[in-house]
Structure 1
Amino acid sequence: MTEKTHPYVGMWVTDDNHVRHELLPNGRYDEARGLRESAYQGRYEIKGNHIEYWDDTGFTADGDFVDEDTLHHGGMVLRRVRDRR
């Protein structure tokens, strides 16, 4: 499955909403921290339940999807934001 149709595409946030991590359908991500929008941007790849990140500044990171609504990344727990329409 490609990133364009991957089921993990979408917005992920910490419980306090401080970190907002959006996995875009084009294989890129955009992460906001507090009041700082687009604090980190780069590309990502998902294999199984594992995600690898390459920030545009050269920083790398990874994470694991525990289930369809929970992502462990960089010592944080992020939850999927479901469309409320």
Structure 2
Amino acid sequence: MRDTKLPIYWKRDLVVAGIVTIMPALTTAKTYPDTGKNAMADHPYIGMWVTEDGLVRHELLANNRYDEARGERQSVYQGRYRVTDNYIEYWDDTGFTADGEFIDDVLYHGGMVLYRQE
């Protein structure tokens, strides 16, 4: 039998045989709550993340907010985010949610691959 256990800090929706199961976040992993305008000023993921073609620019701000630009359109998506270890959750101001993961200083988010812009 294949081991399907995920790390307990992952909060993921799993679809198994057509049934949605929600795994709870059962961890005390270091998170960065929205506690002020510079809550994450020293976090290593703060800054601009860009797709290889430069069309999507995703800025993670120190106040737990993000601002995403696409093409020549600025601030297409804005909202708040939370980082837990290398996992990121987004809550857009319009109501939708998304998530992503940082692996080897690359952000995988919404089917996109974003690289840190120096």
With normalisation by structure 2, the TM-score equals 0.66
Structure number with higher strand proportion:
1
In structure 1, the partner of 2:115 is 79
Taking the aligned partners of 1:4 and 1:20, their CA distance within structure 2 comes to 19
RMSD value, Cα: 1.0
Give the greater-gyration-radius structure (CA): 2
1:9-54 deviations in Å (ceiling 9; x for gaps): 0000000000000000000000001111000000000001000000
Taking the aligned partners of 2:42 and 2:64, their CA distance within structure 1 comes to 10
Runs of 4+ in structure 1 off by over 6 angstroms are none
The share of aligned pairs that are identical, in percent, is 67
Taking the aligned partners of 1:13 and 1:73, their CA distance within structure 2 comes to 11
Contact 1:4–1:27 under 8 Å retained in 2:
no
CA shift, 1:7, in A, is 0.6
In structure 2, the partner of 1:65 is 102
The alignment status of 1:52 with 2:89, answered yes or no, reads yes
With normalisation by structure 1, the TM-score equals 0.91
Taking the aligned partners of 1:22 and 1:13, their CA distance within structure 2 comes to 8
Taking the aligned partners of 2:94 and 2:42, their CA distance within structure 1 comes to 26
Taking the aligned partners of 2:86 and 2:73, their CA distance within structure 1 comes to 28
Greater relative CO, 1 or 2 (CA 8 Å, sep 6+): 1
CA shift, 1:6, in A, is 1.1
Which consecutive residues of structure 1, in runs of 5 or more, have no partner in the other structure? none
CA shift, 1:81, in A, is 0.6
1:6 to 37, 43, 47: 43
